[in-house]
């Protein structure tokens, strides 16, 4: 079987691997659609996203460095995080099932990739 590479790469900011459904978020109005275990995907996290961050299985952002808000919080939460991907919010689609590898800084499309 052909092994496909990552669909996205960035800085691995918090180690671990998690799978879940992508939710592209911008702020408070996205709270109601975010479920426990979803993958939080955003430009850069804001304080308004904390309820979602506390439910997320992983966090993926376009911007940020190793000591940015998403990176620090993901490490404290013990969940994988990939920052500085530049294009997470455009390359990943709502409801897509992905695997986030926070150790390597890579995001893959998972099998059974639809919610």
Of 2-10, 44-52, 92-100, 106-114, the window that binds another protein (rule: CB under 8 A) is 44-52
Of 1-9, 45-53, 89-97, 104-112, the window that binds another protein (rule: CB under 8 A) is 45-53
What is the rounded distance in angstroms from the CA atom of residue 11 to the CA atom of residue 60? 10
Q: Which of residues 63-102 bind another protein (CB under 8 A)?
A: 63-69, 72-73, 75-78, 84
Contact 95, 22 (CB under 8 A): yes
User: Given 23, 69, 75, 99, which residue is catalytic?
Assistant: 69
Residue identified by tokens 């955003």 is: 42
- The answer to the question of residue 34 lying near another protein (CB under 8 A) is no
> How is residue 19 written in tokens?
């799978």
* Beta carbons within 10 angstroms of residue 113's beta carbon: 15
What is the rounded distance in angstroms from the CA atom of residue 93 to the CA atom of residue 84? 18
Name the residues that contact another protein, by CB under 8 A. Answer: 15-16, 27-28, 31, 43-44, 46-51, 53-54, 63-69, 72-73, 75-78, 84
């Amino acid at each position: 079987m052909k092994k496909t590479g990552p669909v996205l790469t960035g800085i691995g900011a918090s180690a671990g691997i998690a799978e879940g459904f992508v939710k592209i978020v911008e702020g408070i109005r996205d709270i109601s659609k975010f479920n426990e275990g979803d993958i939080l995907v955003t430009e850069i996290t804001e304080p308004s996203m904390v309820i979602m961050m506390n439910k997320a299985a992983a966090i993926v952002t376009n911007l940020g460095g190793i000591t940015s808000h998403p990176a620090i919080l993901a490490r404290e939460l013990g969940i994988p995080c990939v920052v500085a991907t530049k294009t997470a919010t455009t390359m990943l689609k709502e409801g897509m099932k992905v695997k986030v590898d926070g150790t390597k800084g890579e995001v893959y499309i998972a099998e059974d990739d639809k919610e």
